[in-house]
């Protein structure tokens, strides 16, 4: 992949400025229709997910009090893993996007929500909503591209340090929530440019410290202690649940912007960008995951990454409903709607991490090294 | 007074310690988030209620009976309660006068709602809400009540749904010797909310009832009181009804220099002059909206998804007060302009203030 502007076969070359504006208008219309129809059904959906998550979490933790007994360990750990995934993905991520603010329920609101994650909600909201969603896939602006530690685009110059990136990525996957906390803090950059000494940075660092302390106390001290003789097995269970949740969310998120077929953009290309152009960048800079209803819920509907990036604040249960309309729009304008099953998309993303750990092959388009082309528009 | 061994503080601290331990397990949620799943009305929870019955009163009014949570502290007849109910998935807060008597045996409370054309909440409560629904509540408030020593001669002037606070007073009962007159207006006899009960009370001699059916006989003019209730100015008066009626009544009692003896309850504010409109920024939530000069900032914020505190929505309870960091707003009731620059710490009632230029609200 190369920034779209440098590609030989620029996938948007056939679109006129008017086309792009019409695409924008059509997307606005899809959004307006959902907002006009948003109501009780949606409210019932999110309340049900929240209730399910809470019931599952409390009962799994109760079962784990007897985790010395192997079946209890398995059931409790599985339940807790699912509860943590629901909390972070379908509930936390989406509530913090403000997808449910319209209900005016102070208990389910982006300004009051806190999630089961070491990055405090307000810091995550800043880095995710304000930076990543605005600058999606703009090389040098969107830090989600490689999280500032990896090379994920041919246009990023190669350095020998990138040889280790498959390993960094694996470690990041296992401890993903800490990676995100550091990333939301802009830890690396702040250390580099000396911002880490500012009182503002220190306050944020303290907030992260407090959040980590609370999370660790709960999962690795209090809950195991309450399990009495099952102390060690409960400790192993909560650790496993956190690990699995991390691996899962890392995989889902890699699928959103890394797989083959997703475009990246040059910094200068977004200067004076129109609404239509912004939409177009979201359309081409994201990839979906195909699968069952359960998969969509477990990914927090980030399996509809394209729809989510177009309309980050629409209720997540609606992405699935508007996907056919969005896809029809892609088809009509000859654009590639990138999607594929989870294993395939994860493999594609990992392949890119491996491939780009090495310098670009001279003369040869790096892309030709990719595995068989992924499912795309019309497939 | 009895003396007790000082064990309570110890107990309390044990409870607090237990609660803290529970919090370390439920973080980032609170223990209450889990308890709410099973016992939303328990003591210590945010005040809520469960609707237990909806009884039609007239073709467009219904009484909603509510079992309040354990934290309900009761009410005095004439007071109102703020109620938050989800309509089409969106939480809406409105005020309703309580029509039940205080401390009823089953602990239930009741409000009586009249559906107004296009009214969001009133139509939902009268026609759609089902028993079992949980609603949000606030403690009763308001001073449209009878004094502890109720006057011997009383005049109630009501129209339409304005009967509700008065009904609570009548149901609770006035002193035996009290001389009570109720002048009530409604479009037709069938539209009189609590018609049968009021007529029965009149028959039993508890009050003199003057019904005015406006569809046939036209609106009641204040001047007609001279013939209907000749001694009306000698009575302590309580009035509740539409804006026009209350304005006329207030004017009349003021002219007669007796406004001290008149008590009114308004269900909606009198809007005098709109503001100029402008861009409103809610600094805490990072939301910016264009609001026109007729839209209260409360509505503008709510429509943009900002969590706005609110109460009566008509300028009496001060439940909606927030700091105006800078900018200008106009009071919709009297046209007064309020301006602020950073540091002023000006606080405004968002329910009766509209933007009059660019303003920053700290919320
Ligand atoms: C202290 C207090 C006590 C109250 N007690 C009662 C009560 O006991 N019973 C009761 O039915 N109502 C009572 N109300 C009025 C109630 O709070 C609502 O305003 C009313 O139910 C209309 O709400 P809505 O959501 O249906 O209308 P909205 O959707 O808010 O308004 C729809 C339209 O009707 C207009 N409108 C709003 N309120 C009124 C009104 N009161 N009369 C005429 N037009 C209106 C609006 O300007 C708008 O154009 C009380 C209000 C206050 C402040
Ligand atoms: S809401 Fe009651 S004063 Fe504004």
How many angstroms is it from B320 CA to the middle of ligand 2? Answer: 5
For residue A5, what pLDDT band results from cuts at 50, 70 and 90?
low
Q: Looking at residues B1-29, what average pLDDT do you find?
A: 75
In angstroms, the separation between the Cα of residue A186 and the nearest Cα of chain B is 21
pLDDT tens, position by position, A325-377: 999 999 999 999 999 999 999 999 999 999 999 998 865 444 433 333 333 33
pLDDT tens, position by position, B129-160: 999 999 999 999 999 999 988 899 999 999 99
Q: Looking at residues B91-102, what average pLDDT do you find?
A: 95
CA pair distance A100, A110, nearest whole angstrom: 8
Hey, what are B174's tokens?
């006035």
3-state secondary structure of A189: helix
How many angstroms is it from A290 CA to the middle of ligand 1? Answer: 48
Domain that holds residue A213: 3-39+114-368
For residue A262, what pLDDT band results from cuts at 50, 70 and 90?
confident
pLDDT tens, position by position, A104-163: 999 999 989 999 999 999 999 988 887 888 887 887 777 666 666 788 888 788 999 999
Residue A319 lies in a domain: yes
Q: Give the range among B218-222, B251-255, B308-312 with minimum mean pLDDT.
A: B308-312
3-state secondary structure of B119: coil
Q: Is the pLDDT of residue B202 over 90?
A: yes
Decide if A107 touches B, using CB distance below 8 A: yes
Domain definitions of chain B by residue range: 48-137, 153-266, 278-361
**Do A249 and A176 meet the contact criterion of CB atoms below 8 Å apart?**
yes
For residue B233, what pLDDT band results from cuts at 50, 70 and 90?
very high
Q: Looking at residues A298-315, what average pLDDT do you find?
A: 97
Q: Is the pLDDT of residue B231 over 70?
A: yes
Q: What's the pLDDT at B305?
A: 85
Q: Give the range among B123-127, B208-212, B332-336 with minimum mean pLDDT.
A: B332-336
Q: Which residues of A touch B130 (CB under 8 A)?
A: none
pLDDT tens, position by position, A56-114: 999 999 999 999 999 999 999 999 999 999 999 999 999 999 999 999 999 999 989 99
Q: What's the pLDDT at B177?
A: 83
Q: What's the pLDDT at B187?
A: 97
Q: What is the mean pLDDT of chain A?
A: 90
In angstroms, the separation between the Cα of residue B361 and the nearest Cα of chain A is 16
In angstroms, the separation between the Cα of residue B334 and the nearest Cα of chain A is 29
Indicate the residue of A103, A218, A222 with minimum beta-carbon distance to B89. A103
Minimum-distance ligand 2 atom for the alpha carbon of B317? 2
How many angstroms is it from A292 CA to the middle of ligand 2? Answer: 48
Q: What's the pLDDT at B11?
A: 61
Reported ipTM: the value is 0.88
pLDDT tens, position by position, B245-287: 999 999 999 999 999 999 999 998 877 666 689 999 999 888 9
**Do A323 and A308 meet the contact criterion of CB atoms below 8 Å apart?**
no
Instruction: Give which of A84, A104, A226, A315 to mutate to test B binding, by max B Cβ within 10 Å.
Output: A104
Residue of chain B whose Cα is closest to the Cα of A92: B28
Decide if B88 touches A, using CB distance below 8 A: yes
How many angstroms is it from B311 CA to the middle of ligand 2? Answer: 5
User: Which CATH superfamily is B278-361 part of?
Assistant: Beta-grasp domain (3.10.20.30)
Residue A133 lies in a domain: yes
Give the fold, CATH level 3, of B48-137: Elongation Factor Tu (Ef-tu); domain 3 (2.40.30)
Q: Which residues of A touch B319 (CB under 8 A)?
A: none
CATH number for the domain running over B153-266: 3.40.50.80
Q: What's the pLDDT at A368?
A: 38
Residues 6+ apart with CB under 8 A from B189: B195, B211, B213
Hey, what are B349's tokens?
């009632």
From B141, B300, B317, mutation site for ligand 2 pocket: most ligand atoms within 8 A of C-beta:
B317
Q: What's the pLDDT at A362?
A: 66
Residue A96 lies in a domain: no
Minimum-distance ligand 2 atom for the alpha carbon of B352? 4
Query: How are beta strands B287-291 and B179-186 bridged, if at all?
Result: unpaired
Q: What's the pLDDT at B4?
A: 44
**B90 with A103: Cβ contact below 8 A:** yes
Q: What's the pLDDT at B150?
A: 84
Indicate the residue of A54, A109, A115 with minimum beta-carbon distance to B307. A109
pLDDT tens, position by position, A168-185: 999 999 999 999 999 888
CA pair distance A291, A132, nearest whole angstrom: 25
Residue ranges lining ligand 1, Cβ < 6 Å: B 80, 94-97, 111-114, 116, 118-122, 142, 161, 164, 265, 267-268, 312, 314
How many angstroms is it from B237 CA to the middle of ligand 1? Answer: 23
The number of distinct structural domains making up chain A is 1
Phi, psi of A314 (to 5 degrees): -85, 145
Indicate the residue of B21, B89, B91 with minimum beta-carbon distance to A38. B89
- List B residues 280-319 in contact with A (Cβ-Cβ < 8 A): 284-285, 302, 305-307
Q: What is the 3-state secondary structure (H, E, C) of A239-308?
A: HHHHHHHHHHHHHHHHHHHCCCCCCEECHHHHCCCCHHHHHHHHHHCCCEEECCHHHHHHCCCHHHHHHH
């Amino acid at each position: 992949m190369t920034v779209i502007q440098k590609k030989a076969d620029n996938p948007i070359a056939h679109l006129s400025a008017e086309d792009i504006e019409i695409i924008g208008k059509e997307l606005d219309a899809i959004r307006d229709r959902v907002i006009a129809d948003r109501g009780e059904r949606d409210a019932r959906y999110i309340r049900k997910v929240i209730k399910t998550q809470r019931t599952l979490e409390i009962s799994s933790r109760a079962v784990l009090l007897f985790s010395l007994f192997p079946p209890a360990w398995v059931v409790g750990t599985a339940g807790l893993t699912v509860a943590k995934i629901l909390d972070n993905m379908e509930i936390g991520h989406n509530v913090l996007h403000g997808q449910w603010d319209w209900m005016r329920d102070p208990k389910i609101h982006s300004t009051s929500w806190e999630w089961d994650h070491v990055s405090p909600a307000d810091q995550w909201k800043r880095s995710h909503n304000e930076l990543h969603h605005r600058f999606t896939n703009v090389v040098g602006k969107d830090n989600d591209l490689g999280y500032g530690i990896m090379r994920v685009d041919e246009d990023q110059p190669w350095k020998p340090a990138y040889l280790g990136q498959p390993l960094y990525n694996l470690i990041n996957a296992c401890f993903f929530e800490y990676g995100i906390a550091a990333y939301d803090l802009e830890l690396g950059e702040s250390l580099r440019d000396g911002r880490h000494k500012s009182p503002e940075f220190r306050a944020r660092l303290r907030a992260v410290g407090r959040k980590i302390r609370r999370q660790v106390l709960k999962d690795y001290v209090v809950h195991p202690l309450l399990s009495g003789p099952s102390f060690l097995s409960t400790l192993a269970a909560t650790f496993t649940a956190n690990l699995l949740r991390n691996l899962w969310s890392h995989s889902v998120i890699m699928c959103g912007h890394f797989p083959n077929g997703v475009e990246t953009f040059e910094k200068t290309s977004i200067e004076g960008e129109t609404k239509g152009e912004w939409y177009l960048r979201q359309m081409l800079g994201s990839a979906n995951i195909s699968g069952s209803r359960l998969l969509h819920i477990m990914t927090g509907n980030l399996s509809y990454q394209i729809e989510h990036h177009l309309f980050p604040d629409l209720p997540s249960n609606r992405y699935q409903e508007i996907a056919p309309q969005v896809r029809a729009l892609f088809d009509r304008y000859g654009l590639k709607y990138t999607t594929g099953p989870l294993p395939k998309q994860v493999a594609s993303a990992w392949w890119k991490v491996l491939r780009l750990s090495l310098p670009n092959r001279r003369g040869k388009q790096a892309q030709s090294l990719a595995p068989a082309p992924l499912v795309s528009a019309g497939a | 007074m009895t003396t007790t061994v000082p064990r309570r503080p110890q107990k309390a601290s044990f409870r607090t310690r237990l609660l803290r331990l529970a919090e370390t397990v439920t973080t980032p949620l609170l223990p209450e988030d889990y308890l709410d799943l099973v016992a939303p009305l328990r003591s210590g929870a945010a005040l809520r209620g469960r609707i237990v019955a909806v009884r039609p009163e007239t073709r467009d009014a219904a009484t909603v009976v509510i079992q309040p949570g354990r934290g309900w502290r009761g009410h005095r007849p004439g007071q109102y309660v703020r109620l938050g109910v989800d309509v089409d998935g969106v939480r809406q807060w409105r005020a309703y006068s309580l029509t039940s008597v205080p401390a009823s045996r089953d602990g239930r409370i009741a409000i009586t709602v009249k559906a107004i054309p296009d009214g969001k909440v009133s139509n939902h409560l009268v026609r759609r809400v089902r028993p079992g629904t949980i609603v949000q509540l606030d403690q009763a408030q308001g001073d449209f009540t009878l004094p502890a020593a109720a006057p011997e001669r009383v005049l109630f002037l009501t129209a339409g749904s304005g009967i509700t606070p008065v009904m609570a007073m009548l149901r609770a009962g006035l002193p035996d010797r009290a001389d009570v007159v109720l002048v009530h207006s409604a479009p037709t006899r069938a539209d009189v909310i609590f018609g049968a009960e009021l007529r029965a009370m009149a028959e039993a001699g508890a009050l003199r009832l003057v019904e005015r059916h406006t569809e046939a006989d036209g609106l009641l003019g204040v001047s007609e009181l001279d013939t209907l209730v000749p001694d009306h100015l000698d009575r302590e008066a309580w009035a509740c009804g539409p804006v026009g009626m209350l304005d006329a009544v207030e004017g009349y009692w003021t002219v007669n220099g007796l406004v001290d003896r008149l008590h009114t309850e308004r269900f909606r504010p009198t809007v005098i002059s709109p503001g100029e409109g402008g861009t409103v920024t809610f600094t805490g939530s990072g939301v910016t909206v264009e609001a026109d000069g007729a839209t209260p900032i409360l509505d503008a914020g709510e429509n943009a998804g900002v969590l706005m505190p609110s109460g009566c929505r008509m300028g009496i309870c001060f439940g909606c007060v927030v700091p105006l960091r800078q900018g200008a707003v106009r009071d919709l009731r009297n046209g007064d302009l309020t301006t602020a620059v950073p540091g002023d710490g000006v606080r405004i009632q968002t329910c009766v203030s509209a933007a009059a230029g660019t303003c920053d609200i700290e919320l």
